[in-house]
Chain A
Amino acid sequence: MFVDQIGKFTLSRLEAAGRWTLFSGASLLHVRSGGALGSRLARSVFELGVRCIPVIAIVSAFAGLVLGLQGHYVLSRFGASGMLGTLVSLSLCRELGPVLAALMIAGQAGTALAAELGIQRSTEQIDAIELLDISPEGFLAGARLFASLLVFPSLTALFVIVGVAGGWLSGCVLLPQDPDAYWAAVHSALRGRDVFECLLKAAVFGLLTTSLCAYQGFNAHRSGEAGARAVGIATVRGIVLSSIAILAADYLITAALL
């Protein structure tokens, strides 16, 4: 009846969480399986990193522009316009940078990853890899997980740099703020702690996003559908789950570090 439906649902979620953990562990452990690690790493860095540069640059420029605008509007009410640099740099560094960069990379590269692995699953390429006695988790997802540890923090750093420049553009060029005061406020506001928090968040988001998207694609056959529909479901689940994971992890990391 209704109660056993709840039980079944809970157990299946629990199983999925366990399978995801084992999948991530296996892909990190067996990253060398199948060889050609260097070129796989290069390809992962290209797909996760290089392809996301344009979208990161555009999104961060607009995030910084709107922060400068809103910050000027709010702060000038209190006569605290000199705090604009503090507001823009701290909010970009501690929250917006890691979260928005991770969401954009998840949208751009995570979906592609889930779809690619989903198609490899539905065309039985993953089974073929397994028959060759190569760990499919390590061969397909391992290098990507390691690449995300580098790519997410560096794209987040790019996001913050471009965003702070965007805040300067809207605050000091388009609006009458003093650029020297803006940059002095930026330099004095950002401390080592903030940078550490920013890069740590980015690395955690990278691991979560990549492993969730890879897991969904890898297990596309478990969604109850087959072929193209299964790939579609895997892609959607990958992006939705990684978005939720990013925001939940963001809260937990912030609470732990404050």
Chain B
Amino acid sequence: MKSPRLERIAGLFVLASIGCIAYFSMGLATVSLRPSETYLVEARFANAAGLINGSQVAVAGVPIGSVTGLKLGSDFSAVVAMKLRKDFKIPSDSIASIRGHGLLGDKYVSLSPGGADDFIAPGGRITDTESAVDLESLLSRFAFGAMQNDKPEKKAAPNE
């Protein structure tokens, strides 16, 4: 009313603030308003330790999707649901394996495409899987492996 200058500055601030929030969410971070087209596939692992919702799914190290759900299957195996970008079709004999980014890095699902002519349909299952390499059990096998191997033999001996 009295001071249109103040109102103009306030209006300018509002415009600038919308720009600020837009740059923050879409330039600095990558929030897309339109969810990208994806489809779901499942894979059954004997051990999915280290995977979480949102873990990467990558082919040849290039991320093409993410893990959307982890649940325990009827045979106590881990059923991992993943969403993949629609423009990437995965051959039906592809192998899904759980790998890690280095020793301390996050776990991710690595897909190695096979050579089959047919592709995995949305909602389908990747049958060929490799479980997470459990580094601790691997290390303990190296460190204590000799001892564990010796014990049964020593116990077995008196019985015979």
Where the two chains meet, the residues of A that have a C-beta atom closer than 8 Å to any C-beta of B are 36, 38-39, 41-43, 45-46, 49-50, 53, 89, 93, 150-151, 153-155, 157-158, 160-161, 164, 186-187, 190-192, 194-195, 198-199
Q: How far apart sit A39 and B31, CA to CA, in the bound complex (Å)? A: 34
Question: Bound state CA distance, A31 and B9, in angstroms?
Answer: 22
B16-24, B69-77, B112-120, B126-134 - the one binding chain A: B16-24
A160 touches B28 (CB 8 A): yes
Residues of A within 8 A of B14 (CB): 45, 150
Give the contacting residue for B28; candidates A53, A153, A155, A164; CB below 8 A. A164
Number of interface residues of B (CB under 8 A): 22
- Among A38, A89, A150, A160, contact of B17 (Cβ-Cβ < 8 Å): A150
Q: How far is the CA of A71 from the CA of B18 in the complex (A)?
A: 30
Q: Contact between A42 and B6 (Cβ–Cβ < 8 Å)? A: yes
Within 8 A of A (CB), among B1-48: 1-2, 6-7, 9-11, 13-14, 16-18, 20-21, 23-25, 28-31
| Count, A-B residue pairs, CB within 8 A | 78
Interface SS of A by simple majority? helix
Please name 9 further chain A to chain B contacts, defined as beta carbons within 8 Å, in addition to the given A190-B29, A192-B25, A192-B31, sorted by A numbering: A43-B10, A49-B10, A154-B17, A187-B29, A190-B30, A194-B29, A195-B25, A195-B31, A199-B21
Once A36-B1, A154-B18, A187-B30 are accepted as A-B contacts, the answer to whether A46 and B24 lie under 8 Å apart by CB is no
For A45, give the chain B residue with the smallest CB separation.
B10
A82 to chain B, nearest CB (A): 11
Contact between chains at B21 and A39 (CB < 8 Å): no
| Given A39-B1, A46-B10, A195-B25, also A157-B20 (CB < 8 A) | yes
Contact A46 to B28, CB < 8 A, known contacts A36-B1, A151-B17, A154-B17: no
Inter-chain contacts of B23 with A (CB < 8 A): 157, 161
- The answer to whether A42 and B21 have CB atoms under 8 Å apart is no
> Are A153's CB and B10's CB within 8 A?
no
Distance in angstroms from A53 CB to nearest chain B CB is 8
Q: How far is the CA of A155 from the CA of B54 in the complex (A)?
A: 29
In the assembled complex, how far is the CB of residue B63 from the closest CB belonging to chain A, in whole angstroms? Answer: 9
Show 16 A/B contacts (Cβ-Cβ < 8 Å), sorted by A. Answer: A36-B1, A42-B6, A45-B13, A46-B13, A49-B17, A153-B17, A154-B20, A154-B21, A157-B24, A160-B24, A186-B28, A187-B28, A187-B29, A195-B31, A198-B24, A199-B21
